């Protein structure tokens, strides 16, 4: 690992991204906001036209807000009210309520979406960025690290022509079978949940309010099944593959309609897509090797029982993008990039392990074990609350309030603007205006540290700071709290710690 800031700019691009799915497109947009030269290589010509992921949360919506596509997405979203786990008799086992009002992020807690809509919005935004080049039908087959960067070798699949480019860093957003991970030699830690399910997406001919808005996990040992509402008339069922199922029939209309007969028939809807998946639970052990990094499914895979698969990739992009920007602008040594895995891996792992635990409830297929589970859980219905873990150790400072390391709220200010829009994509110091009387030098000090100062007496800001017991909170570009200052004297130390590897006045 280099302990010197790289000052060479001989490479063709600052960052090359392999893969233009939601994670790669989000990362590309966040890098473009910083004016970085980005190349995206994608092996397929078109967006996959059918749904895969169906859920993201309010934290993801803040990232899309930063990119500038949130308002375009909203008309095609459905706000999810939560999920219920029920046994074979329909008795409630787990109740996971999700508030449908605007929450602490400035958005709702749960959105259901159609993945092609999101990918189109991300790509359209990316195409507007003058510093980004997108090459479709280009498949990378080799990555060779050089003194100054990485040489990527690829094939233009439209004509078979081979090519090569160089980039200072390469991020593999290329899915579960990542070639970037292969060249890094990164192994996967297996969290021991690998089950086959048939996922079937359906388009209703007319509204069916009787199906309900809640997602339902049918914890029936005879055939575990999941129901999920999507936007408009889209619905999804996930059907566990059982011993004795004929694998050749799993995607046949006859087999699917037979399993869906409890809810709908061919007279009610049309089958849009079905696929057989193995729901994996793995985390890569090594998200960075030198100038090669991993994000999204290349770094981790989760069962779908929390709806956090794509969301984890969006969080990866949000965490990594500003750090790459700081390093590439020569504001930080590249050891800052080591905090990407140390922060994100335990955070992602907590969601995956929770999904595995929830999966163990629904995937119980032994009748006696299911009966014991039902007796335990029906007697005390479990009100499940979405985890809110801190990120792991890295570029943030512990504080007595416990605020640091958590994502900051996004209050709406008195002028109607959301805080992230006021701040932009940078570090922000949020404080009360009274602090400026005590510290008139604070605006200059924040400017020297490259920090946007938001000194606001708005009620929402006062409430937030009062809850943390701080006179000021320092928030990172990915909206996670770097640290909190309990008093004016603590401010100096807090601001001095912004990018501790940053060169003094960028000299």
Residue given tokens 């060479």 in the structure block: 8
Count other Cβ atoms within 10 Å, centred on residue 464.
20
Counting Cα atoms < 13 Å in the Cβ hemisphere of 58 gives 22
Alpha-carbon gap, residue 280 to 176, rounded angstroms: 10
SS3 state of residue 177 = coil
Instruction: Tell me the two tokens of residue 212.
Output: 């309900």
pLDDT one-digit tens code per residue, 1-42: 333 333 445 899 999 999 999 999 999 999 999 999 999 999
Give the E-state strand segments of 280-414 in sequence order: 282-285, 288-289, 292-294, 300-301, 382-383
SS3 344: helix
Q: How far apart are CA 31 and CA 63, in angstroms?
A: 12
Phi, psi of 444 (to 5 degrees): -70, -40
- pLDDT for 421 equals 97
pTM above 0.85, yes or no: yes
Secondary structure (H, E, C), 237-304: EEEECCCCCCHHHCCCHHHHHHHHCCCCCCCCEEEEEEEEEEECCEEEECCEECCEEECHHHCEECCH
CB 291 within 8 A of CB 170: yes
Q: What integer pLDDT is reported at residue 449 of this predicted model?
A: 86
Q: Enumerate long-range contacts of 4-10, CB under 8 Å, 24 or more apart.
A: 4/333, 5/327, 5/330, 5/332, 5/333, 5/334, 5/503, 6/148, 6/168, 6/327, 6/330, 6/334, 7/330, 8/148, 9/168, 10/148, 10/149, 10/166
pLDDT of residue 50: 63
Dist. CA 139–CA 156, nearest whole Å: 7
Single out the residue of 312, 95, 52, 305 nearest to residue 193, CA to CA.
Answer: 305
**For 484-504, what is each residue's pLDDT tens digit?**
999 888 898 888 888 754 544
Q: Residue 417 and residue 454: Cα distance in Å, rounded?
A: 13
Residue 67 to residues 71, 112, 424, 504, Cα–Cα distance (Å): 11, 19, 10, 30
C-alpha to C-alpha distance for 166 and 371, rounded to whole angstroms: 59
Question: What string of pLDDT tens digits covers the 507 residues of the chain?
Answer: 333 333 445 899 999 999 999 999 999 999 999 999 999 999 999 887 666 899 999 999 999 999 999 999 999 999 999 999 999 999 999 999 999 999 999 999 999 999 999 999 999 999 999 999 999 999 999 999 988 999 999 999 999 999 999 999 999 999 999 999 999 999 999 988 788 999 999 999 999 999 999 999 999 999 999 999 999 999 999 999 999 999 999 989 999 999 999 999 999 999 999 999 888 899 999 999 999 999 999 999 998 888 899 999 999 999 999 999 999 999 999 999 999 999 999 999 999 999 999 998 999 999 999 999 988 887 667 888 888 999 999 999 988 888 999 999 999 999 999 999 999 999 999 999 999 999 999 999 898 888 999 999 999 999 999 999 999 999 999 999 999 999 888 898 888 888 754 544 444
Residue 168 backbone phi and psi in degrees, to 5: -70, -30
Domains of the chain: residue spans and CATH: 13-79+106-190+282-354 (3.50.50.60), 419-506 (3.40.30.120)
- Residue 506 is predicted with a pLDDT of 47
User: For tokens 């063709």, what's the residue?
Assistant: 12
CB atoms within 10 A of CB 457: 11
User: How far apart are the C-alpha atoms of 283 and 300, rounded to whole Å?
Assistant: 4
């Amino acid at each position: 690992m280099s302990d010197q800031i790289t000052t060479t700019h001989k490479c063709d691009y600052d960052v090359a991204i392999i893969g233009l799915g939601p994670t790669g497109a989000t990362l590309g947009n966040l890098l473009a906001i910083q004016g970085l030269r980005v190349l995206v290589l994608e092996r397929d010509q078109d967006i996959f036209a059918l749904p895969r992921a169906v859920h993201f949360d309010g934290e993801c919506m803040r990232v899309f807000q930063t990119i500038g596509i949130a308002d375009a997405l909203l008309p095609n979203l459905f706000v999810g009210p939560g999920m219920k786990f029920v046994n074979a008799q329909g008795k409630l086992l787990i109740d996971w309520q999700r508030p449908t009002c605007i929450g602490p992020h400035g958005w709702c807690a749960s959105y259901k979406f159609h993945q092609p809509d999101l990918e189109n919005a991300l790509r359209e935004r990316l195409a507007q960025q003058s510093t980004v080049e997108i090459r479709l039908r280009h498949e990378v087959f080799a990555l060779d690290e050089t003194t100054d960067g990485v040489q990527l070798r690829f094939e233009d699949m439209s004509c078979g022509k081979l090519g090569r480019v160089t980039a200072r860093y390469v991020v593999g957003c290329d899915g579960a079978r990542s070639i970037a991970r292969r060249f890094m030699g990164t192994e996967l830690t297996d969290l021991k949940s690998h089950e086959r399910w048939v996922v079937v997406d359906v388009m209703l001919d007319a509204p069916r309010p009787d199906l309900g808005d809640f997602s339902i996990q049918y914890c029936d040992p005879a055939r575990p099944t999941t129901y999920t509402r999507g936007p408009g008339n889209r619905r999804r069922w996930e059907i566990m593959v059982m011993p004795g199922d004929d694998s050749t029939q799993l995607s046949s209309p006859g087999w699917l309609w037979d399993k869906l007969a409890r809810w709908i028939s061919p007279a009610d809807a049309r089958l849009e897509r079905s696929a057989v998946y193995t729901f994996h639970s793995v985390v890569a052990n090594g998200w960075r090797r030198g100038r090669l990094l991993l994000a999204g499914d290349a770094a981790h895979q989760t069962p779908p029982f929390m709806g956090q698969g794509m969301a984890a990739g969006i969080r990866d992009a949000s965490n990594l993008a500003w750090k790459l920007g700081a390093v590439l602008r020569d504001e930080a040594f590249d050891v800052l990039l080591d905090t990407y895995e140390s922060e994100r891996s335990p955070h992602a792992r907590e969601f995956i392990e929770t999904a595995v635990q929830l999966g163990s409830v629904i995937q119980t297929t032994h009748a006696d074990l299911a009966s014991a589970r039902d007796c335990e859980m029906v007697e005390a219905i479990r009100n499940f609350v979405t985890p809110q873990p801190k990120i792991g150790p890295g570029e943030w400072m512990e504080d007595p309030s416990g605020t640091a390391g958590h994502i900051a709220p996004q209050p709406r200010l008195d002028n109607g603007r959301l805080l992230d829009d006021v701040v932009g994509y940078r570090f922000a110091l949020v404080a009360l205006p009274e602090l400026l009387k005590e510290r008139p030098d604070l605006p200059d000090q924040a400017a020297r540290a490259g920090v946007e100062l938001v000194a606001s007496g708005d009620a929402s800001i006062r409430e937030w700071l009062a809850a943390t017991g701080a006179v000021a909170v320092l928030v990172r570009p990915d909206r996670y709290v770097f640290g909190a200052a309990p008093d004016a004297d603590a401010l100096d130390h807090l601001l001095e710690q912004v990018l501790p590897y940053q060169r003094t006045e960028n000299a």
